[in-house]
Amino acid sequence: VSIAREKFPGQSVSLDALCKRFSIDNKEREIHSATIDTELLARVYIELMDARELSLDLNVKTQHASSESNFDIQKIQNREPATRLTDDDKELHKVFVETLGENAIWKKKEQFNNE
């Protein structure tokens, strides 16, 4: 309603009036139904926002993308992630992990990596 008031100041902005303004068939609205009102309101909103599809041309020729790719997956698989850790940082972490005990998740990760 606020959008309609802004676009049409001083004019009626009821759902019926807006349907009439935009030539939207609202004959089904004789029976009050929230579903019908919702559909009508959606159509009115599209008109208010000028969001209508100008035309639908199904005969438009499009270029189809090639299914072939020159992308080489091997370049990104199994590569080591970049790290900013120094050797000292890695050693400190290893010492810390030793203090966590045998059930530490880091120990399980190390076992998994060694398999």
Catalytic-residue membership of 93: no
Catalytic residue among 27, 32, 61, 84: 32
Measured CA distances, 101 to 1, 66, 96, 107 (Å): 66, 54, 10, 8
Measured CA distances, 6 to 1, 3, 38, 49, 107 (Å): 9, 5, 21, 12, 66
User: In whole angstroms, what is the distance from residue 88 CA to residue 105 CA?
Assistant: 22
Catalytic residue numbers? Answer: 32
